[in-house]
Amino acid sequence: MRTQVGIVGAGPAGLTLARLLEVAGIESVVLENRSRDHVEQRIRAGVLEQGTVDLLTEAGVADRLHREGLVHHGIELQFDGERHRVPLSDLTGGSTIVIYGQTEVVKDLIQARLASGAPLYFEAEDVSVHELESERPSIRFRHDGGKHELECDVIAGCDGFHGICRETIPAGVLTAFSRDYPYGWLGILAAVAPSNEELVYAHHERGFALLSLRSLEFSRLYVQVDHDEDIREWPDDRIWEELHARLGLEGWNLAEGPVLEKGVTGMRSYVVEPMQYGRLYLAGDAAHIVPPTGAKGLNLAIHDVRTLAEALVEWYGSGSRAALDAYTATCLRRVWRAEHFSWWMTSMLHRDPGDDSFGLRLQLSQLRYVTSSPAAATSLAENYVGLGTL
Ligand code: APR
Ligand code: PHB
C-alpha cells in the first residue's frame, strides 16, 4: 500500500488533518487502533474557539455545528460568594466561543471521511512507524487478520498522549517539559437544562468547580478532586452536594438531573520539542497536553494540523520545504501561549492542598483584578477566545 500522508490516530487532530488534505487534493490513510464506537463515545471538552469553528466551516464539516452549537459571548468567574461576568466578545472586538462537544466534532469528521470513500481504518492493531529518516517512511499494522505495510511521503503522529509515534523517536532527540498538578477533575454529564446560560468557573475553599453544558438539555459539571481520586468514592449524591456547596449563591439554584456519565481526569501540562523528526510530524496531544481549565486542548490540536496541512500543500505544490521545516517553531508559539494560559487559569482557580493562606489571598486578588480591571479582563478574554496570529 502507498499513500502521500500516513496519519496515525483518528482523534480531532488526525481526522481534521485528513479532511484538510482531502480538500487540498492530497491523499492520506488514517489508522486508528480503537473501534469507531469507542472513538465516537469518548466524552471530552466542548469549547470551540472562533478560529476552530472557521476552519471546520471552510473544510465543509460544520453544518451540524452551526445548527446545534451554542454561541457564547462571555463566561463567569465566581469567588468570595459572587459571580462576575467576563464579556469575552465586548473585550475582543466581537469574538465568540461555540459550545459543541468534541465528541460531536469527531462524529461529523468521521461521517465526512467515510462519505468521501477515503481510507480510514478502525481497530488497526500493532501500529508501528519505520524509516523515519528516509524519504519513504512506512507504517506497519494489522487489520482484519492481515499484515500491512503502508509506504508514505510523510507520517503525521496524531495518536494522542499515549500513542506510539512520539515513543518511536530515538532517545536524545526530544526534550520534554512538564508540570503535574496535585488534583484532578471529576466530571459528570447530567440530563438537566444548564442552570446558568454561560459557563461558571468557581473558586471555592472546598476546591474548584465548573458549570458547563453540552446543549440546552444537558449539563456538564466538574469538581476538583485528588489527582488519583477513586470514582467509587463518589456516589451521585455526594457529587451534587459538592456542586451545590461550591457553585451555590444566594437566590440561585443548581438544578439536578440523572447522571448519565461520570469520570475522573488527571491534570498535567506537557510539551515536547521539537514536534518533528525526519519525516514524522507530531500533532495535538501526541506533542502536548494542557490542563482543561482554559479549554485549549482541542483548539491547539486543530491549530497544529492546520499548520501541517498548509506546509504539506506548499511542499507538494512548489517543492519548498520551508514551511515543513518551520513546523515546530510555528506551532510552539501557540502551544506555549496556551500552556501558559492554561497553567495560569488552573493555578488561579484550584485549591492546592500544599498551599497556605498567602497563596489563597494571591488567588483572590488575581481574581478580583481580572474581573475589575478592563486591561486584565481583556488579557484573559483574548486568550480564552483564541489569539489570532502569534
Ligand atoms: N495506533 C493508532 N491509533 C492510536 C494509537 C496507536 N498506537 N494510540 C492512540 N491512538 C488513537 C487514539 O485511540 C485516539 O483516537 O489516536 C487518537 C488520538 O486522539 P486524541 O487523544 O483525541 O488526541 P488529538 O486528536 O490530538 O486531540 C486532542 O483530544 O484528548 C483531547 O484534550 C484533548 O481536546 C484535546 C484533543
Ligand atoms: C466542558 O464543557 O467540558 C469544558 C468547558 C470548559 C472547560 C473545560 C471543559 O474549561
pLDDT at 320: 98
**Mind listing the pLDDT tens digit for each residue in 127-138?**
999 999 999 999
Scanning the structure block, which residue is given the C-alpha cell 454529564?
189
Report the DSSP beta bridge partners of residue 210. Answer: 201, 222
Q: How far are the Cα atoms of 97, 144, 293, 338 from residue 387, in angstroms, in the given order?
A: 12, 44, 17, 9
Q: Which of 77, 210, 213 to mutate to test the pocket of ligand 2 (most atoms within 8 A of CB)?
A: 210
The answer to whether the Cα torsion of 141, 144, 150, 155 is positive or negative is negative
Q: Is residue 277 annotated as part of the catalytic site, yes or no? A: no
Q: Is 260 helix (H, G, I), strand (E, B) or coil?
A: strand
pLDDT at 43: 84
pLDDT at 111: 98
Q: Is residue 121 annotated as part of the catalytic site, yes or no? A: no
What is the Å distance from ligand 2's center to 187 Cα?
A: 10
Residue 383 near residue 348 (C-beta atoms within 8 A):
no
Q: What is the largest CA-CA distance in the chain?
A: 66
Q: Is 245 helix (H, G, I), strand (E, B) or coil?
A: helix
Among the listed residues 100, 181, 201, 281, the single catalytic one is 201
pLDDT at 184: 96
Q: Which of 30, 31, 33 to mutate to test the pocket of ligand 1 (most atoms within 8 A of CB)?
A: 33
Q: Is residue 292 annotated as part of the catalytic site, yes or no? A: yes
Q: Is residue 384 annotated as part of the catalytic site, yes or no? A: yes
Low-confidence stretches of the chain (pLDDT < 70) are: none
Ligand 1: residues with CB < 6 A are 8-14, 31-34, 39, 44-45, 102, 124, 127, 158-160, 163-164, 284-286, 297-298, 301
Strand order across the 154-157 sheet:
120-121, 28-31, 5-8, 154-157, 280-282, 276-277
Residue 139 near residue 155 (C-beta atoms within 8 A):
yes
Residue 30 near residue 14 (C-beta atoms within 8 A):
yes
pLDDT at 126: 98
pLDDT at 45: 87
Q: Is residue 281 annotated as part of the catalytic site, yes or no? A: no
What the block records as the C-alpha cell of 219 is 449539563
Residue 76 near residue 196 (C-beta atoms within 8 A):
yes
pLDDT at 54: 96
The answer to whether the Cα torsion of 348, 353, 355, 358 is positive or negative is positive
Among the listed residues 137, 292, 303, 327, the single catalytic one is 292
DSSP result, 112-127: HHHHHT--EESS-EEE
**Mind listing the pLDDT tens digit for each residue in 217-238?**
999 999 999 999 999 999 999 9
pTM: predicted TM-score of the whole model, two decimal places = 0.97
Residue 227 near residue 182 (C-beta atoms within 8 A):
yes
For ligand 2, atom 9, which residue shows the shortest CA distance? 45
Q: What are phi and psi for residue 293, nearest 5 degrees?
A: -60, -30
